[in-house]
Every structure is written in C-alpha cells, then in structure tokens.
Amino acid sequence: MAEISATMVKELRERTGAGIMDCKVALQESEGEIERAIDYIKKKGLAKAAKKAGAIAAEGVIHAYIHPGSRIGVLVEINCQTDFVARAEDFKSYVELVGLQIASMNAQYVRREDVPAADIEKQKEIFRAQTEEEGVQSGKPRPAPVVDKIVAGKIDKWLGEACLEEQPSITEQDKTVGSLAQELSGRIGEKISVRRFVRYELGEGIDKKSADLAADVQAAISGS
C-alpha cells in the first residue's frame, strides 16, 4: 500500500473540502494517486460545500466567445476553487452559457453591488425626468412622493435587466444566471463566481442600422 503523507492529505482537502479521515481513506483506496482520490471522494459524495459561500475562488478560466459573423465578442472570467473543477464538463458548459448570455442580453454589470453609485444616480435622473414629462403630457402631474416610488420601481427593474446574475437564462427562462451558478456550486461542492467581463460589438458607438442580437444568438443556439 502506498504511503500516505500529511502533505497529500492536505492537498486533497484543499481541492475537495472533504474531511481529514475521508481524504486519508480516499488516498489509501486510490493508492496515493490524487486524481483518483478526488474521483473517489466525488463518487462517495464526500466533498463538502458548507463553506463555499465565503471561500476564495481563485481558479477558473477566461473564456472568449465570438458570435458567428464576428460582429460581437465577449471575454469573461469565471472562477472556481480548484483547477480540477475548471476542467469539469459541467463548469465548461456553464462558462459557455455565460458567454452566450452576455452576447445576447448585453449585461452591463455582474451583480447589483458592482453598480457604481454614479451610474444609479444618472439612471434615476433619467427615470425621474421621464416620469415628470409623462405627467406633464397627460395633464396630471404626479406628487413628488409618487414620482419617487415610480422611479424606485424603474431602478429595481433596470438593475434586474442590467445585472448578469439576475437575468433569466437564455436556455432556461425560469432560472437566472445566478441561480444556475448556485445549482452548479451545490453539485460540485465549490464556489462558482463570475468575476468580470467585457463585451465588444462591431462598430459600437458608430451610427449604424440596429440588429436584434438576442434573436440572432438564439437562432445560433437553435441551429447548433
């Protein structure tokens, strides 16, 4: 039987989150081979995810998605806790979905807490001006408290549309991108997190004929 060192147990614990004794048994059953031990732990359902919400996810991938026709491109960094998970098919599938999602739905931020206060204030000004103008046009100006309530509702809706994690998935409309990440995290026992992304559109900022990119991406998915 292969000799199981404390260093091997430590590495396995860091990669799976399983208990010390579980890691030792897994290594013994796997003759000291780390990758086989990881498979053993996952098959036995021993990987722990209790602390994944506060865990540091520093592994992962930077994924590039280029839309057919090379009109739109996305770079996105998605993190997990181990390089083992970064190579897993479930993780890769989620990464590809996120790339398509950003290209199709044009998210501006990852999550609400990422939105700069200045951006929110600017949007509030726009919604306030629109709401007040609607009152003027209808001949029924709204009281300030009513305007404030309407603006707050518009801001909440805007954030839901602008933040990637809150957008309905383009493949499962009844689930958000964030909830799919949580489901994946529960299955694999590691924290999954979209860290950042950038979206490029050909000719962005130049006056041009608009295109329904969401429909275009959906057509590409359906045809694949």
Same domain, 66 and 87: yes
Tell me the C-alpha distance between 106 and 200, whole Å: 10
Q: Are residues 87 and 124 in the same domain?
A: no
Q: Which residue range forms the structural domain that includes residue 174?
A: 53-112+163-223
Query: 107 and 147: one domain?
Result: no
Measured between alpha carbons, how far is 76 from 62 in angstroms, rounded to an integer?
6
Does any domain span residue 206? Answer: yes
Closest alpha carbon to 48 in 75, 90, 73, 14: 14
Looking at the domain assignment, is residue 37 inside a domain? Answer: yes
Q: Are residues 73 and 121 in the same domain?
A: no
Instruction: Answer whether 0.75 is exceeded by the pTM.
Output: no
Three-state secondary structure call for residue 87: coil
First-residue to last-residue Cα distance in the chain: 49
Residue 211 identity (one-letter amino acid): A
Residue 93 and residue 169 in one domain? yes
Q: In this structure, are residues 17 and 189 in contact, taking their beta carbons and an 8 Å threshold?
A: yes
| Together in a domain, 146 and 219 | no
Q: Is residue 1 situated within a structural domain?
A: no
pLDDT by 10-residue block (mean), the chain, 224 residues: 81 77 87 88 64 62 93 95 89 96 95 93 95 88 91 94 95 91 86 93 72 66 65
Task: Report the distance separating Cα 101 and Cα 205, nearest Å.
Answer: 21
